[in-house]
Amino acid sequence: MHEILHGKRLVAFDLDGTLIDSVPDLAAALKRALRGLNLAVPVEEQVREWVGNGAPVLVERALVWAVGQPPEAHLQARAFDAFMQHYGAAPNTLTRLYPGVTKALETLHRAGFTLVLITNKPERFIAPILEHFGVKEWFALCIGGDTLSEKKPSPLPLLHAAAAFGCAPHECLMVGDSRHDIGAGKAAGFATLALPYGYNHGDPIELSHPDVVLPTLDGLIEPTGA
């Protein structure tokens, strides 16, 4: 096990860009929504830079790009509803688990860590996706971007999860791909571990100064030899 796990009891995982590469399905749903409104559609690489602050902000960023200004409320509402419908209908068509995810979750769970999922994705999508990839059973709690009154980078969901299992913040680790995960982790008093392969608005995750950066989750569970 990686030394950052020493003294830890709870590990909180981000979802998009950390466990799953979900942008292809997010982009497909966004394109369908925009096309349905007769608006320009972005390429997948653009969508990759817009993910991370939850579905309403994803749709808003797409509309700003498509119409050149902040969208009026009725356009935002129509595009958001369409996006939610399209994504809900096909959240797992092109989405893939990143390497090492299943083994890391299973190994940590069997080693006695409490695993929680803290994503900014709307809560309704979490269970179908985790079930599809056969990893839902490893999580003791899942929190979405609309589950509580605040989402990452607020520390609130992290502190909520720690309290739910009677853990002090210093006994917890936040694992994520974006500045919102690392910011929330630091604000909550968690240790922080970053994966560089996900979505961080085009910036290197090192700029957020996580405690550790690993190329994949394999490094979290590898024997240290110590």
Ligand X SMILES: O=C(O)COP(=O)(O)O
Q: Catalytic site residues?
A: 14
The widest CA-to-CA distance across the chain, in whole angstroms, is 60
Residues that bind Mg ion (CB under 5 A): 14, 16-17, 177-178
What's the min distance (Å) between Cβ of 54 and ligand X? 5
Nearest CB to Mg ion, comparing residues 17 and 183: 17
Residue 107 interacting partner from Mg ion, ligand X, none (CB closer than 5 to 8 Å by kind): none
Contact between 120 and ligand X by CB under 6 A: the answer reads yes
Contact present, 1 and 182 (Cβ < 8 Å)? no
Shortest Å distance, C-beta 68 to Mg ion: 27
Joined tokens for residue 87: 């994504």
Considering only residues 183 to 222 of the shown chain, the ones binding ligand X according to CB under 6 A are none
* Residues in Cβ contact with 82 at an 8 Å cutoff, skipping those fewer than 6 apart: 32, 33, 36, 37
Tell me the closest approach of the beta carbon of residue 12 to ligand X, in angstroms.
Answer: 11
From the list ligand X, Mg ion, none, partner contacted by residue 55 (C-beta under 5 to 8 A by kind):
ligand X
Judged by CB under 6 A, the chain residues 59 through 118 that form the site for ligand X are none
Torsion over CA: 133, 46, 207, 119 (sign): negative
| DSSP 8-state secondary structure symbol assigned to residue 138 | G
Q: Which is nearer to ligand X, 107 or 119 (CB)?
A: 119
Does 5 help bind ligand X (rule: CB under 6 A)? no
* 213 strand-pairing partners: 194
Q: Residue 175 in contact with residue 11, Cβ under 8 Å?
A: yes
16 binds ligand X (CB under 6 A): yes
Q: Is 218 annotated as a binding residue?
A: no
CA 157, CA 142: separation in Å to the nearest integer? 10
The answer on whether 14 is annotated among ligand-binding residues is yes
User: Could you tell me the two tokens for 142?
Assistant: 């899942």
- Extract the tokens encoding 185: 């982790």
Q: How far is the CB of 52 from Mg ion (least distance, A)?
A: 6
